[in-house]
Structure 1
Amino acid sequence: MSNSSQTTLTVTRLAGEPAAVLSRWLEDAPAEAILLVDFELQQWWLEDSAALPLQAIYCRNGERLLCSVTDKTPAPPEVAACSQFCEWATLNQFAVFESGRALGLEPARIPKPWGQEVWFTGVEERGVCCFTDGQYSCPIPWVQAAAPGAFAGPPAEPLVLLKILDPVPQEVIGDLYFELHEEKREVYVVTHIDPEAWPDGIGGIRYGFDLDRLAESDGDEAFRRDYLAAVQDYERVRRQIDELPEGQAAPSELEEQEQLCRQVMNDFTNMRPLQVGDVVVVPLLMPHSLQHGVRTIEFQTPVYERQILSFAQKVLTQGHWDTVAAVRQMRLTSQEDKAFQLLQSETGITVERIVDFADFEVRRVTISAGGSMALDAAPCYQLLMLIEGCMTLDSLRLEAEEAAFLPRGRPFQLCSSDPMQPLVLLLALPRR
């Protein structure tokens, strides 16, 4: 339970819900002390999973409160001072987070038929992302369950999903699913156009449908019917290729038929050009397919649902396409792009709201070389993704395409680590 001496900190070991146990302990704990809390975490992101036994570890050092979570049995914390706590954590190889300070987001690479996704906040059956202190990492839901004052986000609630879409540059192979969403809202920010795929620097996204083709149709229902027929023609050919033994090439006649049917199907759709810096807002029910060699940062609603209209490869995650259901409800035309809302414009600083969804918004912040910006405390957490430059937040150093979690209720100062270099970053703010 607890022990104390002139050379050892008071160490208390209890069991229960971490936040409640911590709150009671802080009422009477010495200015320097350690608390261990044994608890079980319901893995809400998995179906029919057993509760996971974990241990939350807290170190009170005056006004500072350090927090760790582990599924291991660490060596006893026989440390003489709180200054040695981090050394003990390093010895036991678990991350240490300080209440109220920025948390690093460790990227997780998820292979895809078309390339890869790089997750920063994903928590689901396919993978669980981690917070990192720069040396060790800990799964996001573990830290959320133990973090005092919910400084890592509300326990048992997914964060706004932040990821990078990184398709390979090969045409067709690197094209994503043509799909739509009923619940998931998405926004893409283009960060790279592969010159191998797009020598002129202009890539694309298949986005909705060709307006001329739609105008020539005998009405919306006729257009849906004709498009569905074209997709089903293509799917029949696609299935024949997908069912061939692995490694066996398709006969040339079948390959020619696949290319012809794919072109007929794609002629119904609209290809929207994209350049670095472009923003694509994907409303609900809008069919879309990011194209090969176009790398984007994506913020989205943290739900996993989609309807696949078509795909020019074998779908590995499900045994069917959702074309019939998707065609019935898909948008045929896109909304006119809205101008970004300018929130702040002063010497060397520009803040734009680039998307304004019901559940979250995203802002783009540009700070000129040598400048800095005070980021006000927010009522909820914020996700920061750096696009250009380098910066330091608390003890975290960030470079391009690295991300951090900013806890609620605390202001931050944003400035470049290199005074000769500007900063461009994205901020996602959830709405609760």
Structure 2
Amino acid sequence: MKHAIDSSPFITLEKGEPLAALAAWSRQARVDELLLVEFSLPCWWLEGGELQALTAVYFRDQAGRLHCAVTDRALSSSAGVAGAQFNDWVRQHALAVFSPGQSLRLLPEHIPKPWGQEIWFTGVEARGVCRFTDGSGSVPIPWLQAIMPDAAAGAPGAPLVLLKILDPSPEEVVGDLYFELHEEKREVYVVTHVDERAWPEGIGGIRYGFDREKISQAGDEATFRRQYLAAVEQYEAVRRQIDATPQGVPAEAGLLQRERELRQAMNDFTSIRPLQVGDVVVVPLRMPHSLQHGVRTIEFQTPVYERQILSFAQKVLTQDHWDTAAAVDTMRLTPPEQVDFERLPGDDSVLIERIVDFPDFEVRRLRIGEGASQVYSSNECYALIMVVKGQLALDEGQLGPEQAALLPAGVVFHLASAEPAEPLVLLLARPHR
């Protein structure tokens, strides 16, 4: 891009790798000056990894504090001092500004689904790219990762642990997610709401593995797998007939009745685990699962997009096939035994539970009592934090329920309620290096 930058003693314009240019510039201990670095960012989340032209903007104020921004806009200089020029660019181009050592708030991205919606906080892929926000402007996560020193926004070019909310419709069948499994992606759900329109008693569910009695009746696992596959294939044939019906034309009543009967016969092979608010579901690899309608959860997962669909009671829009035949021989049939959560050391009136410890990341749940606080820091890696209940005081602001932020490594945070008389429940995820 072409910047219209006048010759100025307080603006340095470079090209190349932003962090290397920043390190060289910082060695001169400059204050009240600006550094612009033009660079090309590979879009690693897109097929082909096309390059995007960006400019990193660094401003070190008179107190020596570094302010960082990044833009795809052409900049022109007009002010006579660095601070005024930086503020002009922030206003003109709605730049989001961040400083090393601060938490980075995550801006949710709503992704429609046939069963409801996903609300992404850290997703970076072709379907959508999440953003950091300073409360005014926002910036795509990969852009900020490329220009923040000390990997304060996560390592450049690497996805964050995937954080999202699953928000299914309360309507039965329509709001049931795919019955699917994963070969690489590990997931953990924390239930935050059960819609009383769907579940008047406040207990919903997740389809989770298979019915032990059915397995026993089959005589052996191999026979059970064959029986289940036959039931799915019968249902899929009818499902595809309905899906092929022209839009606006109702399917025949007899076909719809057949679909209901075969769906029930197929689902009879599976097991439903009851869920209520506060429950945790750990989904290991190759475990078939399907969150049911009206059960809202916070989810942390491995940041890869892969799945094998075993069945779905609606038309699948993202692929033209089901994966049952390929997955049936290797899928897990029953879940592992539930174990008590590991309790970690915490300050007074603070309960810290490690609710899952996968090879690639772990998740902790913190219950901070009235008037209590918990110190958190890590010199190894960032952490993602989401509020489940209460108001978290964080830096100069607050996070409320279902709001999230990234905590950079090497910084000490005092986690406490903004309302001392109210308890606080948080989820904190951190990757394993």
AA matched with 2:71: T
1:77 is displaced (CA, Å) by 6.2
Counterpart-to-counterpart distance in 1, 2:169 and 2:348: 39
Partner of 2:261: 260
Is the contact between residue 134 and residue 396 of structure 1 (CA under 8 Å) also seen in structure 2? no
SS of the aligned residue for 1:13 comes to: strand
1:121 aligns with 2:122: yes
1:78 is displaced (CA, Å) by 2.3
1:86 is displaced (CA, Å) by 4.1
SS of the aligned residue for 2:58 comes to: strand
Deviations 1:24-79 (A, max 9, x none): 11111522211000000000010124310000000112431110010011342625
Is the contact between residue 234 and residue 262 of structure 1 (CA under 8 Å) also seen in structure 2? yes
AA matched with 1:204: G
1:218 is displaced (CA, Å) by 2.0
TM-score, normalised to structure 2, is 0.96
Deviations 1:187-216 (A, max 9, x none): 000000000000000000000000111111
**Greater Cα shift, 41-50 or 156-165:** 41-50
Residue 399 to residue 208, structure 1, CA distance change in 2 (3 Å): same
What aligned pairs does 1:229-378 form with structure 2 within 5 A after superposition? 229-345=230-346, 347-378=348-379
SS of the aligned residue for 2:264 comes to: helix
Partner of 2:224: 223
Partner of 2:31: 31
Counterpart-to-counterpart distance in 1, 2:420 and 2:80: 41
Residue 268 to residue 395, structure 1, CA distance change in 2 (3 Å): same
Residue 77 to residue 360, structure 1, CA distance change in 2 (3 Å): farther
1:321 is displaced (CA, Å) by 0.4
Counterpart-to-counterpart distance in 2, 1:14 and 1:182: 44
Counterpart-to-counterpart distance in 2, 1:56 and 1:162: 27
TM-score, normalised to structure 1, is 0.96
AA matched with 1:35: L
Counterpart-to-counterpart distance in 2, 1:175 and 1:352: 29
Partner of 1:422: 423
Counterpart-to-counterpart distance in 2, 1:374 and 1:45: 35
Partner of 2:45: 45
Is the contact between residue 79 and residue 88 of structure 1 (CA under 8 Å) also seen in structure 2? no
1:429 is displaced (CA, Å) by 0.8
* Structure 2: unaligned runs, 5 residues or longer: none
1:377 is displaced (CA, Å) by 3.0
1:249 is displaced (CA, Å) by 1.3
Partner of 1:178: 179
1:391 is displaced (CA, Å) by 1.9
SS of the aligned residue for 2:326 comes to: helix
Is the contact between residue 164 and residue 295 of structure 1 (CA under 8 Å) also seen in structure 2? yes
1:356 is displaced (CA, Å) by 0.4
AA matched with 1:224: R
SS of the aligned residue for 2:345 comes to: strand
Partner of 1:153: 154
Partner of 1:204: 205
1:92 is displaced (CA, Å) by 2.3
Counterpart-to-counterpart distance in 2, 1:14 and 1:33: 14
SS of the aligned residue for 1:198 comes to: coil
Counterpart-to-counterpart distance in 2, 1:63 and 1:342: 41
Is the contact between residue 383 and residue 408 of structure 2 (CA under 8 Å) also seen in structure 1? yes
Deviations 1:229-286 (A, max 9, x none): 0000000000000000112211111111000000000000000000000000000000
AA matched with 1:52: Q
* Structure 1: unaligned runs, 5 residues or longer: none
Partner of 1:143: 144
1:68 aligns with 2:66: no
Partner of 1:190: 191
Partner of 2:391: 390
SS of the aligned residue for 2:378 comes to: coil
Counterpart-to-counterpart distance in 2, 1:347 and 1:49: 49
Counterpart-to-counterpart distance in 2, 1:97 and 1:87: 16
AA matched with 2:291: L
SS of the aligned residue for 1:329 comes to: coil
Counterpart-to-counterpart distance in 1, 2:346 and 2:68: 38
User: How much identity, in percent, do the aligned residues show?
Assistant: 58
What aligned pairs does 1:56-95 form with structure 2 within 5 A after superposition? 56-61=56-61, 62-76=63-77, 78=79, 80=81, 82=83, 85-86=86-87, 88-95=89-96
1:99 is displaced (CA, Å) by 1.0
AA matched with 2:34: I
Counterpart-to-counterpart distance in 1, 2:33 and 2:405: 29
Counterpart-to-counterpart distance in 1, 2:78 and 2:267: 63
SS of the aligned residue for 1:91 comes to: helix
Is the contact between residue 6 and residue 77 of structure 2 (CA under 8 Å) also seen in structure 1? no
Is the contact between residue 3 and residue 12 of structure 1 (CA under 8 Å) also seen in structure 2? no
Is the contact between residue 386 and residue 427 of structure 2 (CA under 8 Å) also seen in structure 1? yes
SS of the aligned residue for 2:305 comes to: coil
Is the contact between residue 2 and residue 12 of structure 1 (CA under 8 Å) also seen in structure 2? no
Counterpart-to-counterpart distance in 2, 1:372 and 1:174: 38
Partner of 1:213: 214
Q: How many residues align?
A: 428
Is the contact between residue 2 and residue 13 of structure 1 (CA under 8 Å) also seen in structure 2? no
Is the contact between residue 309 and residue 324 of structure 2 (CA under 8 Å) also seen in structure 1? yes
Counterpart-to-counterpart distance in 1, 2:377 and 2:72: 36
Counterpart-to-counterpart distance in 2, 1:64 and 1:78: 20
Residue 278 to residue 77, structure 1, CA distance change in 2 (3 Å): farther
SS of the aligned residue for 2:209 comes to: strand
SS of the aligned residue for 2:329 comes to: helix
